[in-house]
């Protein structure tokens, strides 16, 4: 069993409804791959990179899974496709129905063509750290050796405020 932390986000309407409904449905679907799932609140967040798009709904979930990190990532990509995401189309960091990122898998450090763990940009993204710190502030980032709560505290107040709007407690 491995403890997986997964980021969820989207900013386009899907067959499941508005982005909030899509993220909630995706949480339920992803929870099927493990046990003891913990889910953060939903947050409305400003787009990063490509700014000319709707704001996102973001969340993080954590669960125990029997799948390996690679197997879980392949399942997450299948779920994205089920929810209408085509990773080969569109603008990088552009609008999407659903984005699922495997952030952490226990203490594993992986760097392959398929998967990089921990997620390479998670430590600089409030839309990841705020919801992850909500459900798992004491989890240690395997490369920095720092807790998620401490990584969040390193972000500026302005960066943290980007994630201040909780949609669903």
The tally of domains found in the chain comes to: 1
Spot the catalytic one: 96, 121, 125, 168: 96
Active site residue 99: yes
More confident residue, 78 or 167: 78
CATH value at residue 49 = 3.30.70.560
pLDDT band at residue 169 under the 50/70/90 scheme: very low
Q: What is the largest CA-CA distance in the chain?
A: 41
Q: For residue range 15-57, list pLDDT tens digits in order.
A: 999 999 999 999 999 999 999 999 999 999 988 777 788 999 9
Active site residue 74: no
CB 151 within 8 A of CB 136: no
**pTM attached to this predicted model:** 0.93
Spot the catalytic one: 101, 121, 160, 168: 101
- In which domain, by residue range, is 127 found? 2-168
């Amino acid at each position: 069993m491995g403890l997986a932390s997964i980021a969820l986000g989207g900013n386009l309407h899907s067959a499941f409804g508005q982005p909030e409904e899509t993220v909630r449905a995706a949480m339920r679907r992803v929870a099927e791959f493990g046990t003891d799932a913990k889910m953060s609140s939903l947050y409305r967040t400003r787009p990063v990179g490509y700014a000319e798009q709707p704001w996102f709904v973001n969340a993080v979930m954590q669960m125990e899974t029997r799948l390996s990190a690679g197997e879980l990532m392949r399942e997450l990509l299948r779920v994205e496709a089920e929810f209408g995401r085509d990773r080969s189309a569109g603008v990088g960091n552009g609008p999407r129905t659903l984005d699922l990122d495997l952030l952490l898998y226990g203490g594993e450090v992986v760097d392959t063509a398929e998967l990089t763990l921990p997620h390479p940009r998670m430590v600089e993204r409030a839309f990841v750290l705020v919801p992850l710190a909500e459900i798992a502030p004491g989890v240690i980032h395997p490369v920095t050796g720092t807790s998620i709560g401490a990584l969040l505290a390193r972000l500026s107040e302005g960066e943290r405020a980007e994630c201040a709007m909780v949609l669903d407690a």
